[in-house]
Amino acid sequence: MLRTDIKKKKLFITNNFDRDWVVESSSAAKNCKNYIREIVDTLDLQPNPTKDVIALSIGDPTVYGNLKPSEETVQAVIDVVQSGKYNGYAPCTGYEQARDAVATYLSHDGARFSFQDIILCSGCSSSLEICITALCDEKRNHNLLIPKPGFSIYRTLAETIGIKVKYYNLIAENNWEVDLENLEKQIDCFTAAIILNNPSNPCGSVYSEKHLKEILGIARLHQIPVIADEIYEQIVFSKNKFVSTAALNLDLPILICGGLAKRFLVPGWRLGWIAIHDNSDAFSKNIRKALVSLSQRIIGSNTLIQGALPKILFDTPQIFHDNLINTLETNATMIFKLLKEAKGLLPYMPQGTMYMMVKVYLKRFPFEDISHLVIKLMEEESVFCLPGSCFQTPDFIRIVLTVPENLLREACSRMIHFCNKYCTTT
């Protein structure tokens, strides 16, 4: 074709716009699925119009307005905005002073970090995404081991980049400890990393030092790096202690993911981090560089929150943290006691976090599956819980502990009424 013809053709196309023009999406986009949304959107949820809806499903602690960040946290951001010093680009891995604050914050119980070990990210989700992308390679047919039940974003992040996930089981009767034999069985020569979530969403479990050593021992034996999602660090109830994987100081490469979202009650502020813990130096040659390269794609995290980070981490008074845990534990204790009275349900008392798992003896109900029960509970009692299928555990429901006490109490009494109506004893 002559140049002039091409020009003519172009004109022709723009003048006669093809209405059937469909742009194809990439395979990354096609493989990217939000599993909670997929399940929830297929539920035909119609609340009972005579009862106010109580959602026990939302994993955002701020939605009901009863849990707020500390005054110190809020003031720190106001000061930073007014200073006018944080409007420009920060280095992709974060300001040194902010990284240094996280390093100091995480250096306790024998764990030691310097600012070079810290990369700031846009929320903990972004930390996880960077870690998974740095370690897992589609071209090498890698797979990623993730917990079941577990947070669905691990699968979403892995599958988007063509990585298969394999599940290892957690044992409900054992405070949701890892089934070590099952974990070891899942490992193969294509396993690129193991994701460990402690304390756990949705289980509410908090692992002992001994159990952590058992899990990490398996990873060490098979030379598999660990991605430790510790976003619920320190949110543990009385008689439990949070032990970071870093505090064990084992000879094993670990990427610890965390952030402000849950403990500081500001999920929307999108400040997360990766802390590199690598006594073995297995990450020194390639992975440290890979993490820095990947952080360059979106130029790091919000600079205002970075500027406020030292004050948020160190000036938030202990009483703020104590109050949050106290509220969560009081709610958990109350729900646990109440739901034990519901026929066909078995609540599992959490050891920390913002969630409780409740087992449903489905065979004793006239419902086909957990989704059917969740729909009926909404239809009759206007109470909504996430079905365990969102976490690969279809005979459970998950309840959030951040809902105000009076609403939780009301929700529980409606659930008891519902279960006692439908549950048969045989």
Ligand X SMILES: *Cc1c(COP(=O)(O)O)cnc(C)c1O
Residues that bind ligand X (CB under 6 A): 123-125, 151, 197, 201, 229, 231, 259, 261-262, 267, 272
Helix residue ranges per DSSP H, 112-198: 123-135, 153-160, 180-186
Q: At its nearest, how many Å lie between ligand X and the CB of residue 354?
A: 8
Contacts (Cβ under 8 Å, ≥6 apart) of 82? none
Query: Which one, 260 or 358, has the nearer CB to ligand X?
Result: 260
Q: At its nearest, how many Å lie between ligand X and the CB of residue 124?
A: 3
Distance between CA atoms of residues 418 and 396, nearest Å: 16
Query: Which one, 143 or 201, has the nearer CB to ligand X?
Result: 201
Query: Which one, 49 or 268, has the nearer CB to ligand X?
Result: 268
Q: At its nearest, how many Å lie between ligand X and the CB of residue 39?
A: 17
Query: Which one, 80 or 256, has the nearer CB to ligand X?
Result: 256
Q: At its nearest, how many Å lie between ligand X and the CB of residue 11?
A: 48
Distance between CA atoms of residues 77 and 110, nearest Å: 31
Q: At its nearest, how many Å lie between ligand X and the CB of residue 60?
A: 8
Contacts (Cβ under 8 Å, ≥6 apart) of 85? 307
Which residues partner with 197 through β-bridges? 229
DSSP state of 369: S
Tokens of 137: 């390679």
Q: Cβ atoms within 10 A of the Cβ of 348, count?
A: 18
Query: Which one, 262 or 277, has the nearer CB to ligand X?
Result: 262
Q: At its nearest, how many Å lie between ligand X and the CB of residue 151?
A: 4
Distance between CA atoms of residues 126 and 120, nearest Å: 9
Q: At its nearest, how many Å lie between ligand X and the CB of residue 257?
A: 7
Distance between CA atoms of residues 358 and 185, nearest Å: 28
Alpha carbon distances (Å) from 420 to 309, 335, 362: 49, 16, 13
Query: Which one, 229 or 381, has the nearer CB to ligand X?
Result: 229
Q: At its nearest, how many Å lie between ligand X and the CB of residue 376?
A: 27
Residue 63 burial (CB < 10 Å; 0-12/13-18/19+)?
middle
Distance between CA atoms of residues 306 and 316, nearest Å: 15
Query: Which one, 272 or 388, has the nearer CB to ligand X?
Result: 272
Do residues 358 and 204 lie in contact, with contact meaning Cβ atoms separated by under 8 Å? no
Distance between CA atoms of residues 85 and 67, nearest Å: 30
Q: Collapsing DSSP states into helix, strand and coil, what is residue 200?
A: coil
Identity (one letter) of the amino acid at 336? Answer: F
Query: Which one, 60 or 395, has the nearer CB to ligand X?
Result: 60
Which residues partner with 171 through β-bridges? 177
Query: Which one, 201 or 240, has the nearer CB to ligand X?
Result: 201
Q: At its nearest, how many Å lie between ligand X and the CB of residue 333?
A: 21
Q: At its nearest, how many Å lie between ligand X and the CB of residue 231?
A: 4
Do residues 305 and 77 lie in contact, with contact meaning Cβ atoms separated by under 8 Å? yes
Tokens of 207: 């692992």
Q: At its nearest, how many Å lie between ligand X and the CB of residue 230?
A: 9
Query: Which one, 117 or 229, has the nearer CB to ligand X?
Result: 229
Query: Which one, 261 or 415, has the nearer CB to ligand X?
Result: 261
Residue 52 burial (CB < 10 Å; 0-12/13-18/19+)?
exposed
Contacts (Cβ under 8 Å, ≥6 apart) of 37? none
Q: Cβ atoms within 10 A of the Cβ of 363, count?
A: 10
